[in-house]
Amino acid sequence: MTVVIDASIAIKWFVPENLREQALDVLKAEDHLAAPDLLIPDLASLALEKARRNEISSLQARTIMSGIESSGLELMPASIVCDRAIEIADTLDRSAYDCFYIATAERLDTTLITADARLCTALRDTGLESVVRVLSA
């Protein structure tokens, strides 16, 4: 089965933080992982933020970026889902970044797994709640 992941999941593959084991389980358990190619700058931003807060080193931040390349993750060009992402973002008053992940999951007829519980809460009663699943303990 294919699932879409976002940067909140991918960062946990490399950095010890809350729900890391569950994120690693997603990496191990799923047959096929996908994300919009927006994941690369999104993950780089998270890694750099962690380096600036001295949670990881700059070298670790760069290692994360090379590690994601070897993860087997399929990256879908964001341009393919751009119109739908903007439509979702406009309708839900959410960031376009979040909505690229949702639109990718819709396009692949699968589920987005995220550690962003606020995103899942925002999708309640929108018709999109079935597209997104929050990672939990």
Write out pLDDT tens, residues 37-57.
999 999 999 999 999 999 999
8 Å CB contact between 66 and 76: no
The mean pLDDT value of the chain amounts to 93
> CA 52, CA 46: separation in Å to the nearest integer?
10
pLDDT per position as a tens digit, 58-98 = 999 999 998 898 888 999 999 999 999 999 999 999 899 99
The neighbouring-strand residues paired with 3 are 33, 111
Q: Which structural domain, as residue segments, surrounds residue 23?
A: 2-134
Distance, CA of 35 to CA of 124 (rounded, Å): 22
The CATH number given to whatever domain includes residue 58 is: 3.40.50.1010
99-132 burial by CB neighbour count: b if 16+ within 10 A, else e? Answer: bbbbbbbbbbebbbbbbbeebbebbeeeebeebb
Cα 76 to Cα 5: distance, rounded to the nearest angstrom: 12
Q: How many domains does the chain have?
A: 1
**pLDDT score at 28:** 87
